[in-house]
A and B are shown apart, each in its own frame.
Chain A
């Protein structure tokens, strides 16, 4: 883990939260709430649901802050994973049947196409973006839509007007290429 000052600050706040420091926990919330709310909102698509997800996630972060020290991930990654998992649980529960019309009219953005290379973005975020660029267009699009908007295989098939099997293959092959690419980057960083 590259320890930039922002990452170190979040790790400190998490460690203090583990020791029940409520002020540190509030600072942790303030430092991450708008990113994490945005992440959830894209997946669950309703503000009320996203608010519920954010709330549940932070209660969980408070209760499991001590586990973070063992996670060895970057703090923001650890927290984002909690928010994404809870968001995905919510959509899989409430959106089991894909509503094709609603999906086709929803303006889904392929986030991977926008650069967003602001100074605040960490090296890890650059790596995965670079790796996504190595994929074929349809692989990249399926993976980005699934990641950012929480689309299931069948929702992706409807949205992209492709057979289900084709979409599954795009995802599987795309992920395999990402694994190679991420592995190459990890080796350059450590060696």
Chain B
């Protein structure tokens, strides 16, 4: 693809953001932006500069049906088929996986009894509701991540484990092996990263982890955390 001069890239990016670039030229410019990071950076500068102008418009409330449609369109396949399920499980698209998760968690709870109860457990399921990992916090200093089924075709990617707290941005717990077996993460029960923990999730990231300290890749599996009552 022909390389644009900086002046031309600026002129096209400006009219693209303004909206005056005609239909076909818009498509062509979008193709250039996808292929050329320099032009993409110029476009982003214009978006950052011009777009905030839109923040001055008087708000107009959209009808409630818009959200209902969005919700239906982003629903996981399992949840789309079943209307039942409490908001707790539905929030993570685990309507059908919910029961399996509870059973697995219960099994895990029973099986670890002799070595001391875990502080919490979570079964991480893929979007198709299949369990992929079981995570348990073993007192006092170990988080055990047990792989149920590794991902294929991910040689150039790493798996990063995230905590979703009750409120606030996700927190990284580090990288997890994409092989059968356990990854042990050393972490204290008072570690700030696991306070107010609500759920855990795995995203695909570059091998060294997310470059931005926030998830950048697709989410491979996630699950709500179930606290375990200490005996």
In contact, B93 and A22 (Cβ under 8 angstroms): yes
CB distance from A91 to the nearest CB of B (A): 8
* B175 interface residue (CB < 8 Å to A): no
State which residues 74-131 of B face A: CB under 8 Å. 74, 90-93, 127
* A129 interface residue (CB < 8 Å to B): yes
CB distance from B84 to the nearest CB of A (A): 16
Q: Which of B134-142, B150-158, B183-191, B214-222 binds A?
A: B214-222
In contact, B18 and A26 (Cβ under 8 angstroms): no
Among B56, B63, B67, B218, which residue has the most Cβ atoms of chain A within 10 A?
A: B56
* A103 interface residue (CB < 8 Å to B): no
CB distance from B36 to the nearest CB of A (A): 16
In contact, A19 and B55 (Cβ under 8 angstroms): no
With both beta carbons as reference points, the residue of chain B lying nearest to A185 in the complex is identified as B49
In contact, A147 and B169 (Cβ under 8 angstroms): no
In contact, B48 and A35 (Cβ under 8 angstroms): no
In contact, A121 and B19 (Cβ under 8 angstroms): no
In contact, B54 and A19 (Cβ under 8 angstroms): no
Indicate the size class of the contact surface on chain B. 35 or more
CA distance A23 to B55 in the complex (A): 24
Given the interface pairs A55-B70, A73-B47, the reply to whether A22 lies near B10 with Cβ below 8 Å is: no
CA distance A51 to B162 in the complex (A): 34
CA distance A113 to B219 in the complex (A): 45
A142-173 interface bits toward B, Cβ cutoff 8 Å, 1 = contact, 0 = none: 01001110111100100000000000000110
Residues in A whose Cβ lies below 8 Å from that of B17: 81, 84
With both beta carbons as reference points, the residue of chain A lying nearest to B44 in the complex is identified as A73
Residues in A whose Cβ lies below 8 Å from that of B5: none
Residues in A whose Cβ lies below 8 Å from that of B162: 19
State which residues 140-174 of B face A: CB under 8 Å. 162, 164, 168-170
With both beta carbons as reference points, the residue of chain A lying nearest to B202 in the complex is identified as A19
In contact, A55 and B73 (Cβ under 8 angstroms): yes
With beta carbons under 8 angstroms apart, the residue of B50, B57, B71, B215 that contacts A38 is B57
With both beta carbons as reference points, the residue of chain B lying nearest to A93 in the complex is identified as B23
With both beta carbons as reference points, the residue of chain B lying nearest to A126 in the complex is identified as B52
In contact, B50 and A71 (Cβ under 8 angstroms): no
Given the interface pairs A54-B66, A93-B23, the reply to whether A69 lies near B215 with Cβ below 8 Å is: yes
With both beta carbons as reference points, the residue of chain A lying nearest to B30 in the complex is identified as A85
CA distance A172 to B96 in the complex (A): 56
CB distance from B17 to the nearest CB of A (A): 8
Residues in B whose Cβ lies below 8 Å from that of A152: 19-20, 22
In contact, A37 and B11 (Cβ under 8 angstroms): no
In contact, B66 and A55 (Cβ under 8 angstroms): yes
CB distance from A106 to the nearest CB of B (A): 16
In contact, B60 and A16 (Cβ under 8 angstroms): no
With beta carbons under 8 angstroms apart, the residue of B14, B58, B92, B214 that contacts A175 is B14
With beta carbons under 8 angstroms apart, the residue of B14, B60, B69, B73 that contacts A41 is B60
With beta carbons under 8 angstroms apart, the residue of B11, B47, B57, B60 that contacts A172 is B11
In contact, B217 and A66 (Cβ under 8 angstroms): yes
CB distance from A10 to the nearest CB of B (A): 11
Known: A38-B57, A76-B55, A146-B20; 20 extra A-B contacts, CB below 8 A, are A15-B169, A16-B170, A18-B170, A19-B164, A20-B219, A29-B70, A34-B61, A37-B59, A58-B70, A59-B74, A66-B203, A66-B215, A69-B212, A93-B23, A124-B48, A146-B18, A147-B18, A147-B50, A148-B57, A178-B50
21 interchain pairs, CB-CB under 8 A: A22-B71, A22-B74, A22-B92, A39-B57, A51-B63, A59-B73, A59-B74, A66-B218, A69-B214, A70-B212, A70-B216, A80-B51, A80-B52, A92-B22, A121-B55, A125-B53, A147-B54, A152-B19, A152-B22, A171-B18, A179-B10
